[in-house]
Amino acid sequence: MKLESNIPSGPIEQKWDKHRAEAKLVNPSNKRKYRILIVGSGLAGASAAATLAELGYNVDCFTFHDSPRRAHSIAAQGGINAAKNYQNDGDSIYRLFYDTVKGGDFRAREGNVYRLAQVSVNIIDQCVAQGVPFAREYGGYLTNRSFGGAQVSRTFYAKGQTGQQLLLGAYSALSRQIGAGTVTMHTRNEMMELVLVDGHARGIVTRDLVTGKIESWSGDAVIFATGGYSNVFYLSTNAMACNVTSIWRAHKKGAGLANPCFTQIHPTSIPQQGEYQAKLTLMSESLRNDGRVWVPLKANDNRASHDIPENERDYYLERKYPSFGNLSPRDIASRAAKEVCDEGRGVGPGGRGVYLDFSAAINRLGEKTIAERYGNLFEMYERISGENPYTSPMRIYPAPHYTMGGLWVDYNLMSTIPGLHVLGEANFSDHGANRLGASALMQGLADGYFVIPYTIGHYLAGVKPGEITNEHPEFKKAVADVEGRVSKFLSINGKRTTSSFHRELGMLMWNNCGMARSESSLKEALQRIPEIREEFWNNVNVVGSANELNTALEHAGRVADFLEFAELMCIDALERDESCGGHFRTEHQTEDGEAKRDDEKFCHSSVWEYSGDTAKPNLHKEQLTFENVKLATRSYK
Amino acid sequence: MKLSLKIWRQKNKNSEGIFKNYVLSDVSPDMSFLEMLDTLNEQLLSKNEDPVAFDHDCREGICGSCSMMINGKPHGPESKTTTCQLHMRKFKDGDEVIVEPWRASAFPVIRDLVVDRSAFDRIIQAGGFVSVNTGNAQDGNTLPIPKPDADAAMDAAACIGCGACVAACKNASAMLFTAAKVSHLGYLPQGQPERQRRVLKMVEQMDNEGFGNCTNTNDCEAACPKGISVHNIARLNRDFLKAKLFG
Ligand SMILES: Cc1cc2nc3c(=O)[nH]c(=O)nc-3n(C[C@H](O)[C@H](O)[C@H](O)COP(=O)(O)OP(=O)(O)OC[C@H]3O[C@@H](n4cnc5c(N)ncnc54)[C@H](O)[C@@H]3O)c2cc1C
Ligand code: FES
């Protein structure tokens, strides 16, 4: 496997312009001869599908949802970053670039991150033009809020529904193209396998989730924009259907998988309430603009929050990180919450929670202003917990939320498989070992609207359109593989449900490869995962048949992939014998418990190649160099 | 607590459906309605029976996937709440709970509680957008938009496309859904150039899909989990008339 990042030479400010100027083009009348297959219609997939169709390409877009508007992107609450500097508070493209590189604990590629910061400004313009109703001031101009890891206000938002409004914008652009016949949309279709011909990505195999029909599709290039894999933990803030299937299928066909152990645990989720719980609900990071995080000073203090006087409260983020305070980055805030709970100072059932308190902000700004900013989040909290956050503080706890790892891509967003491009959360590109809040929406839309339209042309210019059809034997073989897998699931007839395996795996991953990891916890997980997998393949019970809407079968396929992928995640976490960002190895911490990087040995992305044996993948390293941001210890104190 | 559930079971769109009875005990008041159904499904699976199929994904009340009639009301008894956000503390021990899919000829049942809502997508495809290609846009602050307009646009744009409005309406009309989009874009300067064309196209598509007429009974607003106002329907009607007369 060769890892060529294809970062253009020259000063960082000029790389993207230079690259665009030098990229090969496909002439407008030839574009319609090309067919591009896009899997996923979240922010990344929908924006790419719409834009590529506008340019004249033929696009087929696939999603397992019943409509593109339901992708997990819809759930993003807090906002989207852009280096507009509308607030005149010292923001710039360089500063957004710097914050993102530092926020990622120096484990991302400078060139990609700089480009992301550059195109961030175009995203806001595009969305406004589509009619995205961003929040505004009385003067009619766009307003901003602050997010973690930044000292400027650069986050644009639409109430607490930013992801919804951005996705509906991309969905409307996509719908326009579907209406015009340039995009063929395939809803309720799940991508089950990637098809390679002579080493190039040339198609996919899908299962129609209503009829069970398994079909193959050929194209001149393939794009995966299939989201992240936080559901490997079973309980996460992600939507129920989020999965690792596309990433894992591509990996098994030869695509490098980078930094799978880089997962983000979000500090502010509603704590788990019971055994039956199917998912965790996020409380947006934007709440930390006005909410103060605290726990009792003393351990095992069972008094109600109101009965604890000010001087017996520990506002631990403000205390430990005075310059960023409650807006410290996510990995740091999550770990600090775990630490105080481990000390017995947690609140609520099981002592797994910390307070997020709005009383000071309500006193300062009034209830009305707070309701305007966060009303829908407060309502959601009350509905779930039965408690009113206007009168008593919220209880929150960290939860799996985002995955920085993903398929390795070069500057062109192409994986190690020629022709397979990967966008959005599914790739590993921009966030290093920790993502800053409001930067995932930015990246998904940057990839789809402003990067792939240029880079895919460069690839396609070297491809003869329509050369390969799904009559090719590789397609027949892939279809047979998928059919075999489906009948295998249905024939096991064991005793346990798929959910019970998913839950077991998730708990193991949370305890052993979650917020804190150690050599021994990872080795234990690496022993248990193959055992769970073995039992799954012998004892799962998947009811129903192949030729119908069968939710049990869908879930089994996704969990089977998680059961293989989890092993690689632990291998990666074990191999990375340092702490960085969200990857916290308990063996490597500073005296005051912060992550301790080892730049000598680990200033690289770990890229894994499938060897045929999930226990023994081959490791490749992409060395990272920092020429524009000084490699330094990350401090938010 | 213990519940008697009466759930619509239908194998596929061509087969006949029937209500089946299930008794579920040990329901916790802190469970969401969907977690209650998950629990039932785990029990069905362990008895080798088909689980109840229902659409769901975000479980945060925003994707609009979940869609079921609970005791005759779309999304159940709590106002402005989707099924996934409805909690069992709203029910009592011993309650009978009747669960069935949206009923509308434009939303055919696919299986059990799952219906085909692609008609909504086609209404948007007919005109629910601003025709602006990527790259065309000018700076986002070039055009100030009065805050009340931006806020009103946001309120209309909050629609999650679940279809409760259609399910609640005795005519199975999609007027509230369509009007929400027409209003969202109609409040904004970006939406003006295509305003007339948009309303004509979207209403035409709505009629073609087999949705009923709006007779202003306002059941849609009462059922809407996002509180979209019927005021938007009045706006659509005005826009439609203007477009017909002067367009
Ligand atoms: C609760 C929550 C709040 C968040 N808030 C913010 C925020 O405020 N700001 C921010 O920047 N980020 C936020 N994020 C992160 C951000 O929402 C996601 O990272 C981002 O939306 C991912 O977009 P995407 O397009 O890559 O993937 P997704 O939106 O997950 O879309 C994936 C698409 O792929 C399809 N798909 C996947 N696999 C297959 C398959 N095998 N076959 C067919 N189709 C498939 C799905 O149907 C879907 O269409 C939040 C995340 C969560 C969980
Ligand atoms: S599951 Fe998304 S709105 Fe209910």
CB contact under 8 A, B124 and A171: yes
Q: Which helix (DSSP H) or strand (DSSP E) does residue A622 occupy?
A: strand A618-623
Which residues lie below 8 Å from residue A141, measured CB to CB, with a gap of 6+?
A86, B141, B144
As a whole number, mean pLDDT of residues A239-249 equals 98
Mutating which of A551, A553, A554 best tests the B interface, going by the most B Cβ atoms within 10 A?
Answer: A551
Q: Which residue has tokens 């992600």?
A: A238
How much is the pLDDT for A247? 98
Cβ separation A140–B126 shorter than 8 A: no
CA distance, residue A581 to nearest chain B CA (Å): 27
Chain B: residue nearest A73 by CA?
B63
Residue A249 lies in a domain: no
What distance in Å separates the CA atoms of residue A396 and residue A347, rounded to the nearest whole number?
A: 9
Of A141, A164, A383, the CB nearest to B62: A164
Other Cβ atoms less than 10 A from the Cβ of B207: the count is: 12
Domain presence at residue A569: yes
Q: Output the pLDDT for position B63.
A: 98
- Residue A153's alpha-carbon distances to A81, A331, A359, B246, in angstroms, are 9, 20, 23, 46
Instruction: Please give the residue range of the domain that contains residue A378.
Output: 266-400
Measure CA of the first residue to CA of the last residue in chain B; give whole Å. Answer: 60
Query: Are the CB atoms for A341 and A271 separated by under 8 Å?
Result: no
Please tell me the predicted confidence (pLDDT) of residue A6. Answer: 97
Q: pLDDT tens-digit profile of A429-451?
A: 999 999 999 999 999 999 999 99
On whether residue A102 sits in a domain, the answer given is: no
Work out the mean pLDDT of chain A and round it to a whole number.
Answer: 96
Residue B174 — pLDDT band, cuts 50, 70, 90? Answer: very high
On the question of pLDDT at A591 being above 90, the answer is: no
pLDDT over 90 (residue A273): no
Q: Give the domain CATH number at A554.
A: 1.20.58.100
Whether A107 and A432 have beta carbons less than 8 Å apart is answered as yes
Over pLDDT 70: what percentage of chain A?
A: 100
DSSP single-letter state for residue A142: B
Residue A485, Cα to own-chain centre: how many angstroms?
27
| A410 part of a folded domain | no
pLDDT digits 0-9 by tens, B148-172 = 999 999 999 999 999 999 999 999 9
Question: Atom 9, ligand 1: which residue's CA is nearest?
Answer: A438
- Give the C-alpha separation, B50 to A352, whole Å: 36
pLDDT tens sequence across A77-98: 989 999 999 999 999 999 999 9
Please tell me the predicted confidence (pLDDT) of residue A274: 84
Q: Residues A560-578: what's their mean pLDDT? A: 98
Between chains, do B87 and A386 touch, taking CB under 8 Å as contact? yes
- Per-residue pLDDT tens over the stretch A281-307: 999 888 998 999 999 999 999 999 999
Predicted TM-score (pTM) of the model is 0.97
CA of A579 to the centre of ligand 1 (A): 27
Nearest Cα neighbor of A356 from A395, A412, A330 is A395
Q: Which of A381, A400, A419 is the last residue of a domain?
A: A400
Q: What is the mean pLDDT of residues A170-189?
A: 98
pLDDT of A375: 86
Distance between CA atoms of residues A435 and A427, nearest Å? 13
> Which of A636, A633, A630 has the alpha carbon at shortest distance from A98?
A630
Three-state DSSP state, B213: coil
Euclidean distance between CA atoms A156 and B118, whole angstroms: 31
| In the predicted structure, residue A362 carries a pLDDT above the cut 90 | yes
A515's tokens: 């917020």
pLDDT score of A284: 87
Report the separation in Å between the CA atom of B240 and the middle of ligand 1, taken as the mean of its atom positions.
Answer: 36
Q: Which of A38, A98, A43, A1 is nearest to A631 (CA)?
A: A98
Tell me which residue has tokens 């001087």. Answer: A311
Asked casually if ipTM beats, i.e. exceeds, 0.95, the reply is yes
Give, in order, the Cα–Cα distances in Å from A94 to each of A20, A120, A132: 20, 12, 26
Q: What is the mean pLDDT of residues A466-490?
A: 98
Question: Which ligand ends up closest to the CA of A75?
Answer: 1
The pocket around ligand 1, CB under 6 angstroms, is made up of A 39-45, 62-65, 71-73, 75-80, 162-163, 190-191, 225-228, 237-238, 242-243, 245-246, 282, 284, 401-402, 424-426, 438-441, 444
DSSP reduced 3-state for A61: strand
Closest C-alpha residue for ligand 1 atom 37: A226
Report d(CA A112, CA A408) in Å as an integer: 12
Whether A129 is in a domain gets the answer no
Question: For B18-41, what is the mean pLDDT?
Answer: 96
pLDDT at B32: 95
| Per-residue pLDDT tens over the stretch A364-411 | 999 999 998 888 889 989 988 889 999 999 999 999 999 999 999 999
Q: What percent of chain A has pLDDT over 90?
A: 93
* A173 in contact with B, Cβ within 8 Å: yes
Q: What is the share, in percent, of chain B residues with pLDDT greater than 70? A: 100
pLDDT at B247 over 80: no
Is A190 inside any structural domain?
no
* Domain's final residue, options A400, A421, A442: A400
User: Cβ(B45)–Cβ(B148) under 8 Å?
Assistant: no
A634 pLDDT tier (thresholds 50, 70, 90):
confident
Does residue A93 lie in a domain region? Answer: no
Q: Which of B104, B106, B128 is nearest to B119 (CA)?
A: B106
User: Measured from the CA of B85, which atom of ligand 2 is nearest?
Assistant: 4
Q: Which two tokens stand for residue A41?
A: 């219609």
CB atoms within 10 A of CB B243: 17
Alpha helices in chain B (DSSP H): 33-46, 118-127, 147-157, 164-168, 175-186, 195-208, 219-223, 231-246
Kindly list the structural domains of chain B, giving each domain's residue range(s) and its CATH number in brackets, ordered by start: 3-111 (3.10.20.30), 118-131+144-246 (1.10.1060.10)
Mean pLDDT, rounded, of chain B: 97
Whole-number Cα distances in Å, A201 to A65, A204, A475: 24, 8, 11
Phi-psi region of A593 (alpha: psi -120 to 50; beta: other; left: phi over 0): left
Which residues are CB-neighbours of A356 under 8 A, at least 6 positions away?
Answer: A268, A283, A287, A288, A291, A292, A293, A393, A394, A395, A396
> Which helix (DSSP H) or strand (DSSP E) does residue A183 occupy?
strand A183-186
Task: Show the CA angle centred on residue A150, arms to residues A149 and A156, nearest 5°.
Answer: 110
Distance, in Å, from the CA atom of B68 to the CA atom of B72, rounded to the nearest integer, reads 9
Percent pLDDT > 90 in chain B is 99
Name residues contacting ligand 2 (CB within 6 A). B 56-59, 61-66, 82-84
CA dist., res. B77 & res. B67, Å (int):
13
Q: How far is CA A490 from the centre of its chain?
A: 31
> What is the spatial distance between Cα A329 and Cα A432, in angstroms, rounded to a whole number?
13
A110-125: buried (b, 16+ CB within 10 Å) or exposed (e) per residue? bbbbbbbbbbbbbbbb
Is there a contact between B116 and B53 (Cβ–Cβ < 8 Å)?
no
Q: Which residues fall within 8 angstroms of residue B3, CB to CB, at 6 or more apart?
A: B23, B24, B27, B36, B91, B94, B95, B96, B97
For A553-575, what is the mean pLDDT? 98
Is the residue at A323 inside a domain? yes
Comparing A221-230, A591-600, B42-51, which segment has the lowest mean pLDDT? A591-600
Query: What are the CA-CA distances from residue B62 to residues A190, A239, A373, A379, B84 (Å)?
Result: 22, 10, 18, 13, 10
Domain count, chain A: 2
Buried b (16+ CB within 10 A) or exposed e, A189-225: bbbbbbbbbeebbbbbbbbbbbebebbbbbbbbbbbb
Q: Which of B50, B137, B141 sits opposite A129 (nearest CB)?
A: B137
Q: Calculate ∠ Cα A587-A590-A592, nearest 5°.
A: 120
Q: How many CB atoms lie within 10 A of CB B206?
A: 25
The helix-helix angle for A519-539 and A473-492 (nearest 10°) equals 90
- Do A60 and A492 contact (CB within 8 A), yes or no? no
Asked whether residue A274 falls in the same domain as residue A394, the answer is: yes
In this predicted structure, what is the pLDDT of residue B36? 98
User: Does A210 sit within 8 Å of B110, measured CB to CB?
Assistant: yes
Q: Are residues A510 and A616 in the same domain?
A: yes
Determine contact, residues A486/A546, Cβ cutoff 8 Å.
yes
* Residue in the structure block whose two tokens are 């000390």: A343
Domain CATH number, residue A360:
3.90.700.10
Q: Domain boundary residue among A383, A400, A417?
A: A400
pLDDT band at A167 (very low <50, low <70, confident <90, very high): very high
